[in-house]
Chains A and B, each alone.
Chain A
C-alpha cells in the first residue's frame, strides 16, 4: 500500500545552516547565519568580496568547521553529505600546462567511487552523459589546457555533474566567460535547476536573477531575498553603495526593500 505521507528524504532539506558563526582568528567572517535550502531550490549567493561567500561554500563542503552552530547537508554532517554535492571551484589551483585530457578531467568526478581507482565502464558512461548534457561531448579527447575559458567552465560543470549530485555548488560559473558563452551557460543552468538543487555564487545579478528563485546576500550575515524583490536599492545595500549596474529584465517590487540591521 502506498502512503501519501511524505517520505523522510523528501522533507530533509538540501542544506540547513543554524546559527553558524565562523572567524579566522580574531576576524569574524560570518556571524549567526541561519537559512534553509529545500531540495530543487535554486539559490544565488551574492555580496561583496571578502563578505564571506567562499567561506560559506567551504563550510557547506565541510572543508572548514564553524566555531558555533550546525550545518547539515541532506540531513548529514557536511563531511558525509558532500558525497552528494557536485562542486565547481572558481579558481583551479592547477598548473595551466598540466597535460590532461578533457575526458580525464570529467572522470575525476567519478574518482573515489571505486576501490583501486580504476574507472569502470559505468564511470565513463556517466562522464560522457554529463558532457553531452553540457554540449561539450565533442571536446572529450581534446587537451584541457587548449580550451577557451567558457569551454573549461562547462567542462568543470560537467565534472561536477559526473559526481551524480543532488546538489550543485557553483563558484562563479560566469567568471572569465565571453558574452556568447554566457547565454549558453544560462540555458544550461536553467535546465539543471529542474532536477538538482543549485547553489551558485555570482557577481552577475542580472544573470542569476533569471536562473534562481532566491538570492542570498552574504556580508557577514546572510539576508534572503526572493528574486522578485531585487531592486537597485537592495543591490546597492548589498554591495555597500557605489555600484554601477545595468538593469536586466528582472522584475522589481515597487516599494523596494530595506534591511534595517545589515551593517
Chain B
C-alpha cells in the first residue's frame, strides 16, 4: 500500500516536471486541451445524459471521421490547405448533428436504424478518404487519439469552440432544463423545443471536436457520459451535476495524462479508464451501501 502511494507520488512528480520541460510541449498542449474541454463536457454531457441522447452523441462522434478524412483528401488532391482536419471535423460534426436531429424529430419509425446507418456510413467514408490519400496517415490516431498531433493552433480553435459551447450552454440553461425535463409541456408553453434539441445536438458536436485529438472518436463519448453519470449520484440540481461532472473531467484528464506519461500508456484510454473507474467505484460503493444498510 505504501509503495503504491509512493509510486503514485513519484509518478505525479515526474509528470509535473515533464510539463515544464520545453521539449515536452505536446504534453502541455494535451493537458491544456483537456482542461479547456472539461467544463464543456461537464455542461453538455449533463444535458445529454439527462435527455438520454448518448446514442445520438455516439453517432455524431463517428461521423467526425468522415469530415477528417474528407479534409485530408481535399488538402492533398485539390490543394485546399485551409481545409484542415480540425475544420473538416467541425463541419462534419455540425452536419451530422443537424441530419441526426432532423431524422429523430421527423422520422416516424426506425429512428435507431437510420441513426445507426449514419453512424457507420460517416465512419466508413472517413476510412475510404484516408485510404485514398497518399502519405502516412494512421486512422488509429484519429480513432483512439494521439496527443502528439495537437498543435498550438488547434489549442486556439479549442479555446474558441469552448467559449461558444459554454456560453450557449449556460445561456440556455432554463429553457434547456424545461425541454429536458418535459418536452411536451415546454412546447405547449411556446418554447421552440425542436430548435433547442437541434441546438443541443450542435453543441454536442462542437464538444466532441474539442477532445477528438486527445481521446479519439471512439472513446470521446465516454467523457460525455461517465463524469455526468457519476455526478448524477451526488447531485440534486442540474447545475450541481454540471459542476461535479466538470470537476471529475478535470481530474480524469490530469490523472489520465499523468498515468499515461508515467506508465507509458496511450493517453486517451488512460483518461477514459480513470473516468470509468470513478463511475464503477460509485456504482459499486452505492450498491454495497444499500446492501449493508
A residues whose Cβ falls under 8 Å from a Cβ of B: 61, 63, 82-83, 85, 87, 89, 92-95, 97-101, 104-105, 107-113, 116-119, 143, 159, 163
Contact = CB atoms under 8 A, between A and B. Distances in A.
B191 A99 contact: no
Interface stretch (B34-42, B70-78, B176-184): B176-184
Interface in B174-200: 174-175, 177-178, 180-191
Contact of B191 (A98, A105, A112, A163): A112
B238 A100 contact: yes
A118 B174 contact: yes
Interface of B: 50, 52, 171-175, 177-178, 180-191, 232, 235-238, 240-241
A85 B188 contact: yes
Nearest to B49: A95
Contacts of A63: 184, 187-188
A214 B52 CA distance: 41
Contact of A117 (B52, B172, B181, B236): B172
A119 B182 contact: no
Contacts of A116: 171
Candidate in B172, B178, B183, B185 with the most chain A CB atoms within 10 angstroms: B185
B50 A95 contact: yes
B240 A99 contact: yes
23 contacts: A83-B190, A85-B188, A87-B185, A87-B188, A92-B182, A93-B182, A93-B184, A94-B181, A94-B182, A100-B177, A101-B236, A104-B177, A105-B181, A107-B174, A108-B182, A109-B189, A111-B174, A112-B178, A113-B189, A113-B190, A117-B172, A143-B236, A143-B237
B182 A112 contact: no
A253 to B, nearest CB: 38
Contact of B181 (A82, A87, A100, A110): A100
Contacts of B186: 108, 111-112
B191 A95 contact: no
Given A99-B235, A117-B175, 14 more contacts: A63-B184, A85-B188, A93-B182, A95-B52, A98-B50, A98-B181, A99-B240, A100-B238, A108-B181, A108-B189, A112-B178, A112-B189, A117-B173, A118-B174
A111 B184 contact: no
Contact of A61 (B52, B174, B188, B240): B188
Contacts of B235: 99
A104 B232 CA distance: 17
Contact of A93 (B50, B177, B183, B189): B183
B191 A100 contact: no
Contacts of B190: 83, 112-113
Contact of B178 (A83, A85, A99, A108): A108
A104 B191 CA distance: 16
Given A89-B184, A94-B182, A111 B240 contact: no
B47 to A, nearest CB: 12
A94 to B, nearest CB: 5
Candidate in A95, A99, A117 with the most chain B CB atoms within 10 angstroms: A99
B242 to A, nearest CB: 10
A126 to B, nearest CB: 13
Contacts of A107: 174
Candidate in B174, B175, B186 with the most chain A CB atoms within 10 angstroms: B174
Nearest to A169: B188
B237 A89 contact: no
